[in-house]
């Protein structure tokens, strides 16, 4: 009788000490049960919000581990947790050194990291299922094209759908679901398809009457592009359109020398700013790799290439890579809330970042849901505030940096 090989998984006590949650542990156990850990393949961990799953993967053997995150904030949080684990002797330094965090060096194009990251061939992928099926489709295509041989992606059953299986099946030959545990289960994908291909970016446009309402007679429709799970895909966001019309109809107090689109998304605001203020320097900033890739494509579709001087893209969380007191104009349409619940910490972080990067006399223009009250916070963090537009759904405010 052949003895069963011992499981390579760390002990439950070790996994708990690393900070793994129930879904992390289910992903690891399904990978083990499927025989995917045999031979210690290289491992790619996708969007590990805590860093705990990456730490556990590094304890499976001598296999290298690569962490690929679509969010800069997630990447930073994971890196901080890994450092904490090592400092507190919960993760051996040797194991931590086997973990590579995919990042960009200054001057590199973060958009390329969204669609062609440096992933090791023959890797096993451990991931959490993204909310957007379009993101899963792009993500799985990137992984298959990189030569990854299998993928175990876990999620909450209530957020899963058959369309996720279909998205994985476009890039992998075999896809099946694991048994559920509690409220979670995993999808297992094997054998990258030889015909796997990146999905084409979504295409759309913002009509002139939507984004400037006649304030720019020479400007026509803006072409939009959407990569993966970027907010809004390639559709114009109504709040952003209202913000643009208010800005262009009222005008900033002075033509900006340097302007920032914070949370550039699919590039609607960036392309509109580039059109309205052709002489200014534009810095488009977002925490999402898909947003950076989408904005680059939107600018290119409108004949506005990114040259690194007049127009640049920055993958960063809350303007963390942007110098102090550099901007004359900041536009902001962020996810200030989750559902109807205000995320007070996010508001504080973003408004504080805006105040830090604004030059003396610089202006912040932002849009928010009308049923939420942000004027007091804007005045507290930035300065005197004016309401520029309002309807049943959205309110546009402008604030001038306090002396």
* pLDDT tens for each residue of 273-288: 999 999 999 999 999 9
Place 292 in a pLDDT band, splitting at 50, 70 and 90.
very high
Half-sphere exposure of 274 (CA within 13 A, CB side): 27
Sign for the CA dihedral angle at 267, 268, 271, 276 comes to negative
pLDDT of residue 208: 96
- Cα–Cα distance list, 357 to 86, 108, 336, 351 (Å): 34, 22, 19, 10
- CATH code at position 47: 3.40.50.150
Half-sphere exposure of 193 (CA within 13 A, CB side): 17
The answer to the question of residue 5 being in a domain is no
The answer to the question of residue 112 being in a domain is yes
Range with lowest mean pLDDT among 174-188, 210-224, 334-348: 334-348
The answer to the question of residue 278 being in a domain is yes
More confident residue, 8 or 84: 84
Same domain? 250 vs 186: no
The answer to the question of residue 2 being in a domain is no
Same domain? 235 vs 377: yes
Boundary of a domain, candidates 192, 213, 229: 192
pLDDT of residue 4: 57
SS3 call for 199: coil
Among 106-110, 151-155, 346-350, name the most confident range: 151-155
Mean pLDDT for 252-261 is: 86
pLDDT of residue 33: 96
The answer to the question of residue 139 being in a domain is yes
- Cβ 190 vs Cβ 173: under 8 Å: yes
pLDDT of residue 337: 47
Same domain? 305 vs 238: yes
Same domain? 106 vs 148: yes
pLDDT of residue 219: 93
Look at residue 171 and tell me whether its pLDDT is greater than 80.
Answer: yes
What value does the CA radius of gyration of the chain take, rounded to a whole number of Å? 23
More confident residue, 296 or 370: 296
Range with lowest mean pLDDT among 84-98, 154-168, 213-227, 242-256: 242-256
The answer to the question of residue 197 being in a domain is no
- Cβ 291 vs Cβ 231: under 8 Å: yes
Q: What is the end-to-end Cα distance of the chain in Å, rounded?
A: 81
- Cα–Cα distance list, 260 to 44, 64, 164, 306 (Å): 34, 38, 35, 14
Boundary of a domain, candidates 174, 192, 210: 192
H helix runs in 106-207, sequence order: 110-115, 133-145, 162-169
pLDDT of residue 49: 87
pLDDT of residue 321: 93
Same domain? 27 vs 154: yes
Determine what percent of the chain is predicted with pLDDT higher than 70. Answer: 96
Local structure of residue 71 (DSSP, 8 states): B
Look at residue 344 and tell me whether its pLDDT is greater than 80.
Answer: no
- Cβ 348 vs Cβ 381: under 8 Å: yes
Determine what percent of the chain is predicted with pLDDT higher than 90. Answer: 84
Separation of alpha carbons 168 and 144, rounded Å: 10
Same domain? 148 vs 220: no
Same domain? 95 vs 221: no
Q: Which residues pair with 45 in a beta bridge?
A: 67, 126
Mean pLDDT for 142-161 is: 96
| Residue 109 belongs to domain spanning | 12-192
The answer to the question of residue 292 being in a domain is yes
Look at residue 381 and tell me whether its pLDDT is greater than 50.
Answer: yes
User: Would you tell me how many other CB atoms lie within 10 Å of the CB of residue 147?
Assistant: 12
Instruction: Give 209: exposed, middle or buried? Use CB within 10 Å, 0-12, 13-18, 19+.
Output: exposed
Look at residue 339 and tell me whether its pLDDT is greater than 50.
Answer: no
Look at residue 104 and tell me whether its pLDDT is greater than 90.
Answer: no
Look at residue 54 and tell me whether its pLDDT is greater than 60.
Answer: yes
Which residues, at least 6 apart from 63, have a Cβ–Cβ distance to it below 8 Å? 40, 41, 42, 43, 57, 98
Place 5 in a pLDDT band, splitting at 50, 70 and 90.
low
- Pairing relationship of beta strands 184-192 and 202-206 according to DSSP bridges: unpaired
- Cβ 364 vs Cβ 399: under 8 Å: yes
- Pairing relationship of beta strands 222-226 and 202-206 according to DSSP bridges: antiparallel
Look at residue 43 and tell me whether its pLDDT is greater than 50.
Answer: yes
Residue 108 φ/ψ, nearest 5 degrees = -80, 155
More confident residue, 1 or 103: 103
Same domain? 97 vs 245: no
Look at residue 322 and tell me whether its pLDDT is greater than 90.
Answer: yes
Same domain? 158 vs 215: no
- Cβ 350 vs Cβ 322: under 8 Å: no
Separate counts of helices (H) and strands (E) for the chain:
14, 18
Work out the mean pLDDT of the chain and round it to a whole number.
93
Separation of alpha carbons 284 and 234, rounded Å: 17
Boundary of a domain, candidates 162, 192, 222: 192
Same domain? 358 vs 242: yes
Count the domains in the chain.
Answer: 2
SS3 call for 77: helix
H helix runs in 212-318, sequence order: 238-250, 268-276, 289-301
Same domain? 212 vs 175: no
More confident residue, 336 or 16: 16
The answer to the question of residue 23 being in a domain is yes
Mean pLDDT for 228-250 is: 94
Look at residue 334 and tell me whether its pLDDT is greater than 80.
Answer: no
- Cβ 295 vs Cβ 267: under 8 Å: yes
Same domain? 110 vs 255: no
């Amino acid at each position: 009788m052949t003895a069963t090989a011992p499981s390579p998984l760390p002990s439950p006590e070790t996994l708990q000490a690393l900070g793994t949650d129930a879904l992390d542990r289910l992903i690891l156990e399904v990978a083990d049960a499927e025989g995917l850990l045999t031979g210690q393949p290289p491992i790619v961990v996708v969007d590990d919000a805590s860093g705990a799953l990456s730490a556990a993967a590094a304890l499976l053997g001598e296999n290298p581990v690569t962490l690929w995150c679509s969010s800069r904030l997630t990447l930073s949080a994971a890196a901080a947790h890994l450092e904490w684990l090592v400092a507190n002797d919960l993760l051996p330094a040797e194991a931590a050194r086997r973990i590579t965090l995919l990042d960009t060096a200054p001057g590199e194009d973060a958009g390329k990291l969204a669609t062609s990251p440096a992933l090791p061939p023959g890797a096993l992928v451990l991931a959490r299922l993204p909310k957007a099926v379009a993101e899963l489709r792009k993500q799985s295509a990137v992984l298959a094209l990189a030569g990854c041989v299998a993928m175990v992606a876990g999620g909450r059953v209530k957020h899963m759908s058959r369309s996720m299986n279909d998205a994985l099946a476009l890039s992998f030959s075999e896809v099946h679901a694991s048994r559920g545990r509690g409220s979670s289960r995993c999808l297992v994908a094997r054998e990258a398809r030889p015909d796997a291909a990146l999905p084409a970016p979504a295409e759309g446009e913002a009509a002139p009457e939507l984004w400037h309402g006649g304030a720019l007679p020479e400007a026509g429709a803006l072409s939009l592009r959407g990569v993966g799970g970027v907010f809004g895909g390639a559709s114009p966001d109504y709040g952003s359109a209202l913000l643009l019309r208010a800005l262009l109809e009222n005008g900033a107090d002075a033509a900006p020398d340097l302007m920032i689109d914070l949370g550039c998304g699919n590039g609607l605001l960036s392309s509109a700013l580039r059109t309205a203020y052709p002489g200014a320097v534009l810095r488009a900033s977002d925490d999402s790799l898909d947003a950076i890739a989408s904005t680059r494509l939107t600018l290119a579709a409108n004949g506005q290439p990114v040259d690194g001087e007049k127009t640049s893209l920055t993958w960063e969380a809350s303007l963390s890579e942007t110098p102090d007191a550099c901007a004359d104009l900041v536009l902001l349409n962020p996810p200030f809330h989750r559902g109807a619940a205000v995320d007070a910490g996010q508001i504080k972080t973003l408004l504080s970042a805006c105040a830090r990067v604004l030059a003396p006399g610089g202006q912040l223009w932002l849009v928010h849901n009308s049923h939420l009250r942000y004027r007091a916070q804007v005045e507290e963090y930035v300065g005197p505030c004016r309401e520029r537009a309002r309807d049943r759904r959205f309110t546009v405010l402008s604030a001038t940096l306090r002396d």
